[in-house]
Amino acid sequence: MDLDRRHFLAAAGAVSLPAVLAGCGFAPSSSSDSQPSGTDTITFTTWGTDSELAGFRSAISSFESANPGSKVTLNAVPYDQMFTNIDAQLQAGNPPDVFRVPYYTFGSYAGRGQLLDLGPHLADGFSDRFTPQAWAAVQNGGKAYGVPHHTDTSVILYNKALLESAGITSVPTSLDQAWTWDEFAQLLQTMRDKLPGSRYPLAVNWQGNGVTRWLSWLFESDGRFLAEDLKTPAIDSAQGKEALDFTKSFFEKKFVPQNNSVKSTKLAADLWYGQTTAMTFGGAFLIPDSEKTLEFEWGATFAPRNKRSAGDFGGNALVATKAARNPALVAKFFDHMTNADQMRAFCESASLLPTRADLIEKGIDFKVRPELSPVFVGQASSVKAQDSGQVASPSMSKIITVLKDNLEAAFVGGQDTAAALSSMSSGIGAATAS
Amino acid sequence: MTASPRRDPVPARRRGARTGSRREALAGYSFVAPNMVLLLVFVLVPLVWAVLISFQRTDGFGTGRYIGLENYSRLVTDPVFWRSTANTVLFTVIVTPLSMAIGLGIAVLLNSVLPARGLFRSILILPMAISGVATALIGVLIFDQDTGVLDKLLQSVGLPAVAWQSNGTAAFASVVLVTLWWRVGFNMLIYLAGLQAINPELYEAARLDGANRWQQFRYITVPLVGPSSFFLLILNVVYSFQVFDIVFVMTDGGPENATSVLVTYAYNNGFVTGDQGYAAAIGVVLLLLTLLFTVLRWRTSRTRDLVE
């Protein structure tokens, strides 16, 4: 039959329909793995730097080799979308079996019945491999809901040329010789006097969810924000006042830029990268990028101490969702991911810190700037179980908001210390009560 | 016998007409049904769901607990909610008239004989094609108070740097300026279309009667782009009430809630703090404000249908 206009248009429409549907997102994505089948597969969702993702892939590969027939499907997503995706999947009832979670977010999931209690599935004595502070960070109500995969903590990263221009020629080389708060304040004042007005001595990495790093100053004074019961607010105390007064002075005395406050979208590391500040607090995860991109010579030293040294228990845990299809396989996977060889390989290549006691005792060497490893490992040893256990509170996401609002008011809003502590105390009380 | 054949066709025509009308109506409803289903599933159901959530205390996991109007009574005493509302209203009151006025001004210029006007139009319309987040990231490059282009420029000509992140007023201004850059092109485009529908004979007659350029603009141009203004006013207000991505990326509500707007506040409560009931209540209030404005504008506009 002759091809007339009507038939031609119909044929053209039929040919273009797949393209239209693909444009609407109906086409199967070639980049996603096929749907996991059966119960011998674990779905694992995480974000990560290139080094971290490479470490995960390597560990998964060795796990699959050691467990023929088992498969781990890795789903790598950008950090910004990670937890809105996870929350949506949990609410919809189709979460991954395993996902990665920061310690300060862990409590929100564990405390609300979303995670698998690993106790029945892990071998006796499993927890002995970890440091007490690491194991405390994955507990809720006395039960283990995850495994501490790695940690990180903040030390001082410094620009050597800017320090020398301020007359500072040496930095502490051991944890117990770290600058005291008084020495640190004196150092900052010296730098303030010597540096031009548009440059600053320091930037602190307490932006956004990193506001938990302010708690390190509280811990350095032997203070707490939650009492032993992990519900009663404990921040309105002499130690709280000491920590808040000290950190407020960073803004009052122009030791830090005004846009270094907790709600700023400008990260501390960016202030340091741009040489606006001579020093910044930063974690080991910054080492690969810093080494690759910075044009100035830089080093690392220990955070200052007050009554004691302390640090933030950063880093991430691996957790399983309550609905994980094969808990025994998940437990095996977690055991594999936290064995000594795997943890060492992961942490050394990604510039992160181990949570195993034996690795911390022996020390590790980062692939990039290995001579900096002892500074970070040493600083991490100053974190105590009583510190990380507080940050594992299920109310932590609300407490973070309370800290952000009140520290911002104190740092750049002129709110006095007593009012800020009182407001934080009542805010924390409301958070743990709800 | 001759009368009988004439009577037969009449009932057939009437029956056919009624059947045809019904058939056409059915066809119309059938064609519009897919759109109505989409609207129902993606707008109405989520809307009702959000209203229900706003009466609950829930973090989104499992079923929430109904607490009546507790989320709304909490709103009334929440200083950050009122600050966010005030910021949203202020942002709207500033951005809407400025973007419309600038858009109309540029449209009038580009509607005349001008060398390379196509190029100018393209340059002005280009920001509209960029996503909000990309626009905000460009804003960060310009307004960063330590390494941004603008402060470096100011200092190079001897002017003091502005604290675009740590000063509340300056932070708010930076968000307004970036939004204007993004929105003016769209306003210009709509006004350009409106201007081209105005009969040139009106201007010719006005000139013959001695009207100057300003009078021509004031008495002919402005009233006759009434339909465009009506459309743009609603669109700009609704957009400004829902501003999120530029604030989120550039300032995230800081410093000290100086740039917190209702949607960033709702987002932070719903997805950062995990208090979804409260976030839904904020969303419902925002919806009511938007509906109220739209209804008021619809009822009060006198020039929306003015045409020549």
Chain B neighbors of A257, CB-CB under 8 A? 145-146, 166
Q: How far apart (Å, rounded) are the C-alpha atoms in residues A197 and A210?
A: 27
Q: Do domains A5-151+315-384 and A154-312+395-433 have the same CATH topology?
A: yes
Residue A35: per-residue pLDDT: 47
pLDDT at A107 over 80: yes
Average pLDDT over residues A107-134: 92
- What are A167-220's pLDDT values in tens digits? 999 999 999 999 999 999 999 999 999 999 889 999 999 999 899 999 999 999
In the block, residue with structure tokens 């109505």: B36
A 10 A CB-CB count for A189 gives 15
- Which is nearest to A17 in space by CA: A8, A7, A27? A27
| Residue ranges per structural domain of chain A | 5-151+315-384, 154-312+395-433
Residue A318 and residue A193 in contact, taking contact as beta carbons nearer than 8 Å: no
pLDDT at A38 over 60: no
Work out the minimum CA distance from A316 to partner chain B, whole angstroms. Answer: 18
pLDDT at A80 over 90: no
Q: How confident is the model at residue A12 (pLDDT cuts 50, 70, 90)?
A: low
pLDDT at A305 over 70: yes
- Where are the alpha helices (H) located in A221-281, listed in sequence order? 238-252, 268-273
**Residue B255: which of A90, A91, A412 has the nearest Cβ?**
A412
What phi, psi does A414 have (nearest 5°)?
75, 10
Residue A286 and residue A269 in contact, taking contact as beta carbons nearer than 8 Å: yes
pLDDT at A296 over 90: yes
Residue A93's identity, in one-letter code, is: G
Q: How far apart (Å, rounded) are the C-alpha atoms in residues A210 and A220?
A: 17
**Residue in B closest to A109 by C-alpha:** B61
Residue A24: per-residue pLDDT: 43
Residue A394 and residue A431 in contact, taking contact as beta carbons nearer than 8 Å: no
The token pair that represents A253 in the structure block? 């005395």
Task: Give the single-character DSSP code of A307.
Answer: S
**Residue B273: which of A257, A264, A401 has the nearest Cβ?**
A401
Residue A284 and residue A352 in contact, taking contact as beta carbons nearer than 8 Å: yes
Coil/strand/helix, residue A94? coil
**Residue A397: which of B146, B254, B274 has the nearest Cβ?**
B274
Average pLDDT over residues A244-263: 96
Burial of A325 (0-12, 13-18, 19+ CB in 10 A): middle
What phi, psi does A156 have (nearest 5°)?
-90, 125
- Please report the residues numbered 248 through 267 in chain A whose beta carbons come closer than 8 angstroms to any beta carbon of chain B: 257-259, 261, 263-266
pLDDT at A347 over 60: yes
Work out the minimum CA distance from A411 to partner chain B, whole angstroms. Answer: 9
Residue B300: per-residue pLDDT: 83
pLDDT at A15 over 70: no
**Residue B254: which of A114, A264, A276 has the nearest Cβ?**
A264
Residue A13: per-residue pLDDT: 56
Residue A26: per-residue pLDDT: 39
Q: How far apart (Å, rounded) are the C-alpha atoms in residues A63 and A331?
A: 12
Q: How far apart (Å, rounded) are the C-alpha atoms in residues B244 and B65?
A: 29
pLDDT at A22 over 90: no
In the block, residue with structure tokens 């490992």: A377
Q: How far apart (Å, rounded) are the C-alpha atoms in residues B38 and B25?
A: 20
Average pLDDT over residues A99-110: 93
Q: How far apart (Å, rounded) are the C-alpha atoms in residues B72 and A265?
A: 30
A 10 A CB-CB count for A270 gives 17
Q: How far apart (Å, rounded) are the C-alpha atoms in residues B78 and B149?
A: 37
**Residue in B closest to A90 by C-alpha:** B61
| Best A259, A277, A322 residue to mutate vs chain B (most B CBs within 10 Å) | A259
Coil/strand/helix, residue B193? helix
Residue B102 and residue B275 in contact, taking contact as beta carbons nearer than 8 Å: no
What CATH class does A154-312+395-433 carry? alpha beta
The token pair that represents A135 in the structure block? 């194991």
Contact state of A434 with B249 under an 8 Å Cβ cutoff: no
Beta-carbon contacts of residue A216 (< 8 Å; ≥ 6 apart): A154, A303, A310, A311, A312
Residue A197's identity, in one-letter code, is: G
**Residue in B closest to A111 by C-alpha:** B61
| Best A94, A106, A115, A264 residue to mutate vs chain B (most B CBs within 10 Å) | A264
Q: How far apart (Å, rounded) are the C-alpha atoms in residues A47 and B140?
A: 24
The token pair that represents B12 in the structure block? 């057939």
Chain A neighbors of B251, CB-CB under 8 A? 265
pLDDT at A295 over 60: yes
Coil/strand/helix, residue A36? coil
A 10 A CB-CB count for A180 gives 14
Contact state of B146 with A263 under an 8 Å Cβ cutoff: no
Stretches in chain B below the pLDDT threshold 50:
1-8
Q: How far apart (Å, rounded) are the C-alpha atoms in residues B275 and B270?
A: 5
Q: How far out from the chain centre does Cα A254 lie?
A: 28
Q: How far apart (Å, rounded) are the C-alpha atoms in residues A330 and A107?
A: 20
Arch. (CATH architecture) of A5-151+315-384: 3-Layer(aba) Sandwich (3.40)
| Cα-based distances in Å from A233 to A225, A433, B17 | 6, 10, 79
In the block, residue with structure tokens 């500074």: A375
What phi, psi does A261 have (nearest 5°)?
-80, 175
Q: How confident is the model at residue A39 (pLDDT cuts 50, 70, 90)?
A: low
- What are A382-425's pLDDT values in tens digits? 999 999 999 999 899 899 999 999 999 999 999 999 999 999 99
Residue A34: per-residue pLDDT: 46
| Cα-based distances in Å from A100 to A103, A115, A330, A362, B225 | 10, 12, 13, 26, 56
